[in-house]
Amino acid sequence: MSFYRKNWYYLGGALFVALAFFVGFWGNQIDPLRKTPLLSFMALLMHQFEEYAIPGGFPAVFNIGWNHETEAPDRYPLNRPTCVCVNTFLAYPFYILPIVFPKIIWLGLAQILFGMAGQLFVHGIVINRKLHSYYNPGLAVTVLLHVPIGVYYIRYVYAHGLIKPWHWVAGILASGLAMVLVVGLPVRFLRDRNSPYPFDPDENGALPHQRKIEEAGSEIEVARASRCPTSGRT
């Protein structure tokens, strides 16, 4: 388990390569309703690789840049077990279900919206605003893969008359529920400032966005100091 906690995103990258060969050789034989969620799952694997491997640094982005943590930024609120739980044990089944059941349109739509709209909102707007930046790890794959795949899926189901208004309602609700159950609640309940599973320094790394993260941490410290001035009594 220790090996998996430290290398799950590299294993995900290897799985992406294997799936890419599979789709490259046999993709024409796969129904688009099944192939598109499969491509979306592959985009998830690359999205995670971008966040944690190359260029990496998402733990610092999340813990310092987003959650303003300065006491234990290497393990709070995000730590290794939380990452494994969220990104593999929970996200993988959610992404694989539409591949197994491609004719359940609202399920495929929920998966597509999770990657296309949810990730774009988080990485493209929320995190960039907090870091005052134009890029953070995870944004590139969102823009280059999640969004185009999502647009193709929506156009396909519309072109073939497969989508109904209630599919949108169910898909949006399911996607929002997944955001809570797959990401929100696990991060909240597994957070631990005394976690014995911190991230290694090289996982936060000296990256192009690292300066923005450090500046965010400095701003937090200054704000705290201004709220809690030292006493002048002798």
Helices (H), 53-125: 58-60, 80-84, 91-100, 105-113, 119
Domain ranges of the chain: 2-196
Residue whose token pair is 């008359």:
161
Model pLDDT for residues 125-170, shown as the tens digit of each residue: 999 999 999 999 999 999 999 999 999 999 999 999 999 999 999 9
Rg (CA), the chain: 20
- Picking from 103, 94, 114, the residue whose alpha carbon sits closest to that of residue 157 is 103
Give the pLDDT score at 202: 72
Give 217 or 42, the one with higher predicted confidence.
42
Mean pLDDT, range 68-91, rounded to an integer = 95
